[in-house]
């Protein structure tokens, strides 16, 4: 039995939250740096998300979740990236596109990240552990 097997749901949620905070910092820092370099907001949003999703998968698949019996790195990453693109990239892109007149660009980005993070826990668990509940 390897370390990390039979981790409780609360332990997984705690670890996922730690990774999520780091993801938020990585995503937001990349986004901010690219905006400072005059990248278009939607492109900067996509690139910030891409950097964060690679970090997130690497850490969550080794530290947060227990790998499924039939874990395949390529298949799990594809599921993780596709679900992440629908959830976190989708929510942050919608926020960056729709909310700046109401909140400002950087607040819109943070709102999108928070909404995506809440939904992403279950998507990450599905892609790595091959289960939702």
Which is higher by pLDDT, 85 or 55? Answer: 55
Q: What is the dihedral of CA 93, 99, 105, 108, to 10 degrees?
A: -70
Hey, where are the domains in the chain?
9-129
pLDDT at 132: 59
What string of DSSP letters covers the chain? --TTTT--HHHHHHHHHHHHHHHHHHHHHHHHHHHHTT--HHHHHHHHHHHHHHHHHHHIIIIISPPPTT--HHHHHHHHHHHHIIIIIHHHHHHHHHSHHHH-HHHHHHHHHHHHHHHHHHHHHHHHHS---
Distances (CA, A) of 69 to 38, 54, 117: 45, 22, 26
pLDDT at 48: 95
**Res 73 pLDDT > 70:** yes
Mean residue pLDDT across the chain: 86
Give the tokens for residue 16: 């996922």
pLDDT in tens, 85-120: 788 889 999 999 999 999 999 999 999 988 888 887
Query: In which band, very low, low, confident or very high, does the pLDDT at 133 lie, cut at 50, 70 and 90?
Result: low
Query: In which band, very low, low, confident or very high, does the pLDDT at 69 lie, cut at 50, 70 and 90?
Result: confident
pLDDT at 3: 45
**What is the pTM for the complete model shown?**
0.76
pLDDT in tens, 9-51: 889 889 989 998 998 899 999 999 999 999 999 999 999 999 9
CA distance 51 to 96: 17
pLDDT at 41: 96
């Amino acid at each position: 039995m390897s370390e990390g097997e039979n981790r409780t749901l609360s332990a997984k949620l705690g670890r996922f939250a730690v990774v999520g905070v780091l993801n938020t910092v990585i995503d937001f820092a990349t986004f901010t740096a690219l905006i400072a370099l005059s990248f278009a907001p939607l492109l900067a949003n996509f690139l910030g998300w891409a950097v964060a999703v690679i970090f997130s998968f690497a850490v969550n698949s080794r530290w947060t979740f227990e790998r499924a019996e039939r874990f395949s790195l390529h298949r799990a990453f594809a599921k993780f990236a596709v679900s992440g693109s629908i959830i976190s990239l989708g929510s942050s892109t919608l926020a960056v596109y729709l909310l700046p007149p109401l909140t400002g660009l950087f607040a819109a980005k943070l709102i999108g990240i928070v909404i995506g993070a809440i939904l992403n826990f279950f998507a990450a668990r599905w892609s790595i552990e091959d289960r939702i509940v």
